[in-house]
Each structure stands twice: as C-alpha cells, then as structure tokens.
Structure 1
C-alpha cells in the first residue's frame, strides 16, 4: 500500500512538472505500474478541492506539487467536515492539526501517513477511531479532546513513540488494556470522561510526568500508582475517592496534587513524604482536622483547603515557611495559632465565611502584617 502510494506521488510530480520529458516518463511509469491516470487525477482533484476550496480550483495546477509534498497542515476552525481518503498522497505529512472543525470520521487511509508525528483533531464530532490509527508508528502527540469518543481501539497500543495523549472531554467509560503499552507516555489527560476504575497496568507508564483523571467516577486508585516515579502533576479532583494508597508516597517528584471535590474525611500519613510538592489542593472535601503531615511539606507554596469542616490549625502550620497562598474559606475556624506568624512568605490568606471574631481578626492581621487577608 505504501509503495503504491509512493509511486503515485512520483508520477504526479512528473506529470505536473510542465516538462515534456517528465510527462512522458510519468505516463510510462503509470503504464508499467498499471496505475489508472484518470482515477489518479480524479483523486487529486478531490484532494485539491478539499485543501484549496472550490473557489480556488483554478489554482490546482500551480499548487498540486506543493500539496502532495506538504509536511504540515494546521487549519483550525476552517469548516472541514471530513478528511478525504486521498490524504494518503500526502506521504510527507508530519503534522495534521484540524481542531474546531466538524469532522465526524477518519478515513482508513490515515494509517498510510507513516511520517506523522502530531495529530490534533480536538473539538470535533469524532465518535470513533479506525484501527489504522495504530499504523502511525512515528506519532508523538495525539489530541482528540472535546470530541464524542465512546471507545479507543486496542491498536493504540502500537504507538510506541507516543509522548502525549489528550482524551479529555469525551464519553469514555473504559480504556483498552493495550493503552498501558504506550510506555513512553509523558502526558496523559483523561479528565471529563466516565471512567470508574483504573487497572494496575497504569503503573507501567514509568515515564509519565502529568496525569489528569479529574471529573470521572473513580472510587479507588491502584497501588501501582506508586510506580510512576517521574510523575510531577496528578489531578484526581471531582471523583468519588475517600482514600489513597500508601504507595503514593513513592512519588518523590510530585509538585502538584489536586484532590478537590472528593469524599476525604482524613488524609493518610504518607502524604507528608511528598517532599517536592509545591501545590496541594484539598478543597470541597469533608476534612474535620488539619492533616499534621502537611506541615512536613517544606516546599509547599500553595495550600487550598476551602469548603471543609476544619475547626483549628496545628502549631506546625508555621513550618510551611515557603507558603505564599493559603485558602481556608468556608470552614469552621475560630482562631489561628500564633505560629502562623512564621509564614514570612505568605502573600494571600482567605478566611472568608469562617466564624472568626473581630478581636481575632485584629490579632491575625498583626501576626501577618505583609499579607493580603480576606475575612
């Protein structure tokens, strides 16, 4: 299939060169390869009309060689409702970026684009992918966000060089087991789907640096999450989690952890071993007490615990000397410990909708004279 497409591309270049000897050679090659010139030109007519538009059809002769040899297509919001099968002639294509179009299906011929490195079709009407997607052996980035996908073909596991996979805002209830064979993945974004479980094989993604599973229906996280030793960003917000596995303490490079809007009433001690964490988001849970383990996170710059049931903060809060922003809105806090004065880098403190007396507000302001405070 690829050899024939290459022959067709070469013949087209000869026919459109404008030189008599090349045209003759092109016709001879077509005859020897049993390639129907009429069919070939009709295919190219379709490709040019798709690429140039009907109103520019007169430009085909001048532009065709450039079109066939093009390496990048980036046309967002261009009114495309399809990708024609004739795209198979664009064998040099390395990037195909058509976001914000009305494309609802991919041609099987997409698999002939062996040089493709980046495929971006976000904000489309795609509801399925052909198995030929697995033929894109050089693919590094696949962006199918804000589409209507209900499943991913198992052939995605053939994309051994894939570094970025963006599938958020779809209708996925499960993922093929083969997806965990994409062991070079660095970014995996799966938010706003309908996933309710994660298999242990997620731990095979040893190179993963960013994992977004927010806005799903997860009730638990597998122990193998601890295998993701390169992970720097983990978003588990808006799920149905009430606990985390102790193995999360292995994520020594984790810088950002979001557990917002789950069902946590407490946090495990191991969270205090996330030595690189800079941003911890715990808002919209049911925490009744401040997890003392947090006081060990000496790299923390932002701590968000709004909309919980906190009544007090421990004296150890003063250990978070790198903290710049502290969000405690909508809790049951009445007083803050004097040790909060040790937060010399604190720039923003939100204590809104807490039962804090006027005298306590005065004291807090005196303890943090350089901080912007909201009551």
Structure 2
C-alpha cells in the first residue's frame, strides 16, 4: 500500500476531509486538526480502538515531515510510531499525554515541537538533545521541574512556558541567544532575572499573572523588542531607561500597581498600542501626549478625579470596554 492509498483509507476512517500534502507519491505533511471543525481534533470523539487504528495507518507514512495531531485526546501513541523519524514539525498539543512519546527522540531534525496542554509532570532530559529545535511549546503542563541542558538548544527562537507549572524560569533560558519570543507566567515568580537583558534578539515577551514588582534595568537592553505583555503582575515602576526600547510598538501593562511613567517613556517613538488600564494613576501621565505613533490607548479603572479627554486621531479606551460608567 503506497502513501496515496494510505491517505485514502485514512479519509474513510476519519470520516472527514483533512490536509495531506504530497511530494511526488510521498505524503510529507498531514493534519488531523481543523480550526473549522467544532471539536478542532477530527478524531477527538472516535473510540480508543478507532484512534489506534488510524494512528497505525499514519505510522506507515514514513516520509512525513509535518504532523499535526492537536486536540485529539489520544492518550497514547502506538509503538509503530517509532518508524516516523523524518519529522521537522510535530504538534501533539491537547492529546492527553502524560510523557513525551518515545518516537519524538528519534527525530533529530525536529525544528518545531508543540506539547502544550498535556498532563505532563516530568520532561525527559533527552528533549535537550534535539538541538535543531527552533520552536518549543511547553505551556499548560504540570511540570515539577526542568531538566538541565536547555542551553544546548542554540537555535531556539520561540519558547512558551506560561501555565507550565514552573515557578521560575529554567536557569539556562537566558543562554539561548537566538530567542525571539518567550512567554511565562501564572505562577508566584517574584523577580525577573537580570539575565533577561542577554536576549538581544528578543522581539516578543510575555510575563503575566506573577508577583513581580519591578523590571530590572537590563530589560532596557532588549533593543529588538517589538511587543511585550506585562499584565496582571504587581509592577510598581518601570526602569528609567525604558525609552531606549526604540523598536517597541505595543506594551500592555494592564492591572499592575503603576502610578507614574518615567520621563524617557516619551522616547518610544514607534509605540502604537498602550494599555495602562486598572493601575493606580491619579492623573494622565503627561508623556502620553508626546508619543507620535500612538493609535490605541486604554486607561480605564484608574483612580483619576475626572476622565481624561480623548486625543484627536487616537482610539482611546477610557471606559470599561464591558460597560459601566465613565471614571470619576
């Protein structure tokens, strides 16, 4: 049975159309995840026996490079998956996996691995041997620790760790010099390490729902930063040199403890979106009027005596977007 025959049989067993890409007669990409489907995972509600039958058929596609099984609640993968060793992109998110499947470590060329939303408590240290990885998604896990060796992943560009179970950044995070996107949060982290400033390629940074009160001065060394989400922390002040982030276009500081902004904030000449809602400002920071690129500004739920006037040409959210009276 060739790959085209296998895919035809798969379509019958899945009971729906799905993406399959061929290079010649070889199937090189397959996805059983469909955002247009009500359940997203096309075999999510098949029986366990039906799922295993379908997965065993997929294991025959030995030239697969891209495989997306997200949101199919698989529980476990068959032993036959050991034959899949040419993968470059693998998505196993929301598959009810309790450990990283053994076959993953056979894919030395893997560049993108999505393991988010699984009840995984322990990461196999062999994960750090996949040194071609550029994107690693480990969010919404139940991790009790993190293995050594993250710094071996020197090609890593994207690392998602929010709601991972971790209480602090893995210690080698800041030795991955190619990182351009990081997310972390929903944990009792109190201090953002000074080492964050080493990540000179960082463009997108998310730190949310923590106990962090200040950003280190080294945060201002992130000169490539384009957007940062820092909402629902306990940030009381921003670094004085925040204005040196000249590429910054978006910053969300919703629900922190800010009552003032540094004078250098006016130097953020590319800033387009700013969210200062639900902080402790008693008046509108004057530097806001000196941001030439600003297009959108949120300022609701601050203890100001009277609501600030809207700016001409600027979409300003000064009331709760979900309704309620103007601040006063």
- Mark yes or no: TM-score above 0.5: yes
TM-score calculated relative to the size of structure 1: 0.71
Matched-pair contact (CA < 8 Å) for 2:84–2:103: no
> 1:178 aligns to what?
149
Q: Write the distance in 2 (CA, Å) between the matches of 1:110 and 1:55.
A: 18
Q: RMSD of the TM alignment (CA)?
A: 3.1
- Structure ID, larger Rg: 1
In 2, Cα distance between equivalents of 1:106 and 1:179: 26
Aligned to 1:75: 32
Deviations 1:290-342 (Å, cap 9, x if unpaired)? Answer: 343322211111111111111123433221121111111111123588xx88x
Q: Distance in 1 between matches of 2:240 and 2:14?
A: 66
Given the two structures, how large is their TM-score scaled by the length of structure 2?
Answer: 0.80
| Structure 1 stretches lacking a partner, 5+ long | 1-11, 14-46, 57-65, 357-375
Secondary structure of 1:290's counterpart equals coil
**Is 1:130–1:153's contact at 8 Å kept on the other side of the alignment?**
no
Q: Note the 1:270-289 alignment, pairs <5 A.
A: 270-289=241-260
Distance in 2 (CA, whole Å) between partners of 1:238 and 1:115 is: 38
For 1:178 and 1:201, locate their aligned partners in 2 and report how far apart those are by CA, in whole Å: 7
Structure 2 residue runs without a partner (length 5+): 16-22, 34-40
> SS of 1:70's equivalent?
strand
Q: With CA pairs under 8 Å and 6+ residues apart, which has the higher RCO, 1 or 2?
A: 2
- Pairwise CA distance, 1:105: 2.2
Counterparts of 2:306 and 2:264, CA distance in 1: 20
Counterparts in 2 of 1:55 and 1:305: CA distance versus 1, 3 Å = closer
For the structure 1 residues 70 and 350, does the alpha-carbon distance in structure 2 shift closer, same or farther, using more than 3 Å as the test?
same
1:93 and 2:64 aligned: yes
The C-alpha deviation readout for 1:84-128, integer Å capped at 9, x for no partner, is 578654321212211221211234554542211111122211111
- Measured in 2, the distance between the counterparts of 1:111 and 1:267 equals 50
Q: Deviations over 1:19-55 (max 9, x none)?
A: xxxxxxxxxxxxxxxxxxxxxxxxxxxx999946679
Q: Aligned to 1:212, which of 183, 189, 194?
A: 183
Checking the alignment, whether the CA contact within 8 Å between 1:196 and 1:219 is kept in structure 2 is: no
- Alignment match of 1:332 (pick from 297, 303, 322): 303
Partner of 1:146: 117
**Cα distance in structure 1, aligned partners of 2:14 and 2:214:** 60
Of the candidates 237, 240, 253, which is equivalent to residue 208 of structure 2?
237
The count of residues paired between Structure 1 and Structure 2 equals 300
Closer/same/farther in 2, CA of residues 85 and 219 from structure 1, 3 Å limit: farther
Could you tell which deviates more after superposition, 116-125 or 47-56?
47-56
Is 1:348 matched with 2:319?
no
Q: Which residue pairs with 1:252 in the alignment? A: 223
